[in-house]
Amino acid sequence: MMSSPLHRTRYTWAEYLALEASSNVKHEYLDGQIYAMAGGTPEHAALAAAVIGLLFPQLRGSPCRAHDADLRVRVPKTGLATYPDVTIVCGPSQRDPEDDNAVTNPTLIVEVLSASTEDYDRGDKLEHYKGLSSLSEYVLVSHRERKVEVWVRDPEGTWTCNTVRSGEVARLASIGARLDVDELYEAATEPAG
């Protein structure tokens, strides 16, 4: 989520890359502004890990690879550089011409919502992600209830949302996989005791 920008008014892309190379904190970049990304809760981290854990065996043998929040994604049309919770890239990754550590061709992106990021992930961030011509699906995992929203781009470029809840399965056609909602949340639940 974007928070208050760092102190200076504007930063160049090169200054951002230098900061990222030397920082132990991740930052988003947009329109000359650098935003520190807030750390997540243990529950948020567990949900993101559960998504990867459930998708990984389904992707084995396919041209798609799962990446965690260490992968930087850049949206060339808008300039946003960010770290989605889960990024799936199918086929060879395309790197940003100015940043060999950022990909520009995700097929599917997953964001685990939180109280502080939900509005951004549903609003401005979704609009930025729509600028990625390779992106076919955008998945939002709720932090409040057993609910997964799958935004799908049709061949004409129109986005529609399908919401699945407890007892249902999210079908991720772009990567030939599925997410069972109950299995996802159970995998992320802390054991009792």
Mean pLDDT over the full length of the chain: 92
Q: Quick check: 7 pLDDT over 70?
A: no
pLDDT computed for residue 62 by the predictor: 97
The answer as to whether 32 is a domain residue is: no
The answer as to whether 106 is a domain residue is: yes
- Per-residue pLDDT reduced to its tens digit, 121-165: 999 999 999 999 999 999 999 999 999 999 999 999 999 999 999
Q: Quick check: 71 pLDDT over 80?
A: yes
pLDDT computed for residue 193 by the predictor: 67
Q: Quick check: 4 pLDDT over 90?
A: no
The answer as to whether 167 is a domain residue is: yes
Q: Which amino acid is at 18?
A: A
The answer as to whether 23 is a domain residue is: no
Range from 9-18, 45-54, 118-127 carrying the lowest mean pLDDT = 9-18
Q: Which of 77 and 2 is assigned the larger pLDDT?
A: 77
Residue 1: pLDDT band with limits 50, 70, 90: very low
The CATH number covering residue 92 comes to 3.90.1570.10
- For 73-99, what is the mean pLDDT? 96
Contacts of 152 (CB under 8 A, 6+ apart): 136, 137, 159, 160, 161, 162, 173, 174
The answer as to whether 178 is a domain residue is: yes
The answer as to whether 50 is a domain residue is: yes
Residue ranges of E strands in 5-134: 27-30, 33-36, 64-67, 72-74, 81-82, 86-90, 95-96, 99-103, 108-112
pTM to 2 decimal places: 0.92
Q: Quick check: 68 pLDDT over 90?
A: yes
Report the percent of the chain where pLDDT is more than 70.
95
Instruction: Provide the number of structural domains found in the chain.
Output: 1
Structural domain containing residue 46: 40-187
The answer as to whether 94 is a domain residue is: yes
The answer as to whether 13 is a domain residue is: no
Based on the number of CB atoms within 10 Å of its own CB, is 130 exposed (0-12), middle (13-18) or buried (19 or more)? middle
